[in-house]
Structure 1
């Protein structure tokens, strides 16, 4: 390959090369971690598995958008996921059209639909779900179709004062129909001898290198990676979020992508990074499972304490990971009640040892849950 060319310009494109021996230990490490996680999950009830699945999917939706700089409301995402999975979480948050589209894609990629072929029409449906108004921000984009490069080549550019840096340029639009047909034939090949986990890394890289849409390529590339991981796991339930781990290492993620896309067809380094991130994601899932089990323990211990619907609703928000400090005014807002009613609710729970004061001080007083203590 000539200096300055991209991988897609190589005469060997798209015949990816990698050193399988160098990837043997990372592959084994991920498999061991998955085995440990599934072993823990085998010992919990189906209801708790559903809760862990919902938590992982919620995190995946939130974080795949966060990678692109878009902040989604966690409560809205969780409600949307719960609604589709048929999991009762009490009161549901209002429908958010931005949220619904991302949830649709992630669930379509990770549900039983993961075993059906990924087609052009299905990809167009994913893209339309991401951009229901045909706009990305203030810009109108081509939705449900490949980009046409009418405004110039597809480039990834960052700008500093007085200088623009081109990090990547995608293949010309006129190549996309043939390129995507080749990609989808590879992805839907059920007789491939490639390790399933490596196919997930390759599918993610291949799609984001083609960058076939005007916008949304990163989110759809990660959904394709999730689809291939779901096929590798052989289960429609997800208990870890690779997107969350990518968000935690966002800078390194973009750096390894740029390095790989400007390199030759040897993608061993990318696959090592991918497997390392996947291992961390699976290990992080134990923390999520711990929270799910702790929540179940809390409600088991609190079963004998009389509570009204408002108290149950707000406590559910707390054990699900409430952000910020809980004050009387926040309680009133969450429970949709007056400040006096909120204070009565809180006082009752303080007396039962369910809540405790985080610090004293008049208006600044805030409260926290007694973390599943024996007092409950």
Structure 2
């Protein structure tokens, strides 16, 4: 028996309808190709990876996550955190491919494979293999047990039941609701010795991707969940609905509501970023042209605007330049006060200079607060 899918109330259906409206608007706006699309998608994917790993205590800057995604050495992240980020990126890349696969069915082997991709570097934790013993989730601050997973002998059958449900169960339910319930059931089954939380969040993204709810970069709520205050709420609602041990009965509506709110808030954030991207890019094009610079420099300035830190190798790859061309462009942007260099040789990076900082401040003043759909 799994945790059951709840019936939505009128207020929940209103939130769901608003999410759907925002999704359709985003898809309409994304149907037209823009010069900033690639960088925006990369930023969103990096923030999703950052958020999901931050929940587990593996913290890295967005800039370092992007470096790891590109196969580069991060400036600040430790080797241990780098491995976690790289493993999660590998799994999300596969999920992105599975979202578009014409022939697809969920199975336990797929879930085990995704777990191995995420934590294959944790050899002693038997990555990709169903646990054979008890498992406990502890509160980091107090050390007390807050959840005990089901007995190991029950796990294979529970996982099979979940797989059957993913393929055939509650197909009439809204995709966002099914995805939330997939997350809830997998995290409470806790099938592996490690990586259960990240796997559950990734499964939620996969369910939405299979239902063609845009691409994982735009439908994931992992960035929203990774905020410290939201992470606390996330654990609180999981604890309240899941209880202290496997108990698939009772009301799960609070969990679904939490996920719907997260989707609503994240969709607002993505919509704002998408609108802002066009305004920023257009303004930077005008300024680059007025300065007599090559128009490719807009890419470097946009990256420094949204990500706070730019490395020469990123700009070089984005614009398919030689090392010398990229270095000359960045030196010129620094001379014009658009960028400020820091560090030397391999550790050199660029941040916003006085002119770009003023632009950032202007956009910050114009930012519209997100609207809580449940307030």
Instruction: Name the counterpart of 1:19.
Output: 7
Question: Does 1:143 find its partner at 2:127?
Answer: yes
Q: Secondary structure at the match of 1:167?
A: strand
Range moving further from structure 2, 228-237 or 23-32? 228-237
Aligned partner of 2:90 among 97, 104, 112: 104
Q: Residues of 2 paired with 1:48 and 1:317: CA distance?
A: 10
344 and 113 in structure 1: CA distance in 2 versus 1, 3 angstrom threshold: closer
Question: Does 1:179 find its partner at 2:158?
Answer: yes
Question: Does 1:297 find its partner at 2:278?
Answer: no
Structure with greater helix share of residues: 2
Post-superposition offset of 1:250? 0.6
Q: Residues of 2 paired with 1:155 and 1:291: CA distance?
A: 44
Question: Does 1:321 find its partner at 2:307?
Answer: yes
53 and 237 in structure 1: CA distance in 2 versus 1, 3 angstrom threshold: farther
Q: Secondary structure at the match of 2:226?
A: helix
Q: Residues of 2 paired with 1:114 and 1:175: CA distance?
A: 33
118 and 51 in structure 1: CA distance in 2 versus 1, 3 angstrom threshold: farther
Q: Secondary structure at the match of 1:230?
A: helix
220 and 45 in structure 1: CA distance in 2 versus 1, 3 angstrom threshold: same
Contact 1:101 1:129 in 2 (8 A): yes
Instruction: Name the counterpart of 2:58.
Output: 70
Instruction: Name the counterpart of 1:127.
Output: 115
Post-superposition offset of 1:265? 2.9
Question: Does 1:192 find its partner at 2:171?
Answer: yes
Instruction: Name the counterpart of 1:361.
Output: none
Q: Secondary structure at the match of 1:280?
A: helix
Post-superposition offset of 1:142? 1.5
Instruction: Name the counterpart of 2:242.
Output: 261
Post-superposition offset of 1:314? 5.9
Contact 1:75 1:93 in 2 (8 A): no
303 and 126 in structure 1: CA distance in 2 versus 1, 3 angstrom threshold: farther
TM-score normalised by length of structure 2? 0.73
Unaligned stretches of 5+ residues in structure 1: 1-12, 84-91, 357-364
Instruction: Name the counterpart of 1:201.
Output: 180
Instruction: Name the counterpart of 1:217.
Output: 196
Q: Residues of 2 paired with 1:190 and 1:45: CA distance?
A: 36
240 and 55 in structure 1: CA distance in 2 versus 1, 3 angstrom threshold: farther
Contact 1:246 1:253 in 2 (8 A): yes
1:268-287 mapped onto 2 (5 Å cutoff):
268-287=253-272
Question: Does 1:251 find its partner at 2:232?
Answer: yes
Q: Residues of 2 paired with 1:345 and 1:49: CA distance?
A: 25
194 and 37 in structure 1: CA distance in 2 versus 1, 3 angstrom threshold: same
Q: Residues of 2 paired with 1:132 and 1:226: CA distance?
A: 21
127 and 308 in structure 1: CA distance in 2 versus 1, 3 angstrom threshold: same
Contact 2:5 2:170 in 1 (8 A): no
Post-superposition offset of 1:313? 8.1
TM-score normalised by length of structure 1? 0.73
Unaligned stretches of 5+ residues in structure 2: 75-81, 317-322, 341-351, 362-375
Aligned partner of 2:29 among 40, 48, 52: 40
Q: Residues of 2 paired with 1:224 and 1:261: CA distance?
A: 18
Question: Does 1:158 find its partner at 2:145?
Answer: no
Contact 1:52 1:239 in 2 (8 A): no
Aligned partner of 1:58 among 36, 43, 46: 46
Range moving further from structure 2, 109-118 or 171-180? 109-118
Equivalences, count: 324
Q: Residues of 1 paired with 2:331 and 2:17: CA distance?
A: 55
Q: Residues of 1 paired with 2:303 and 2:164: CA distance?
A: 44
Q: Residues of 1 paired with 2:158 and 2:99: CA distance?
A: 23
Q: Residues of 2 paired with 1:201 and 1:144: CA distance?
A: 23
Q: Secondary structure at the match of 1:65?
A: helix
Range moving further from structure 2, 279-288 or 294-303? 294-303
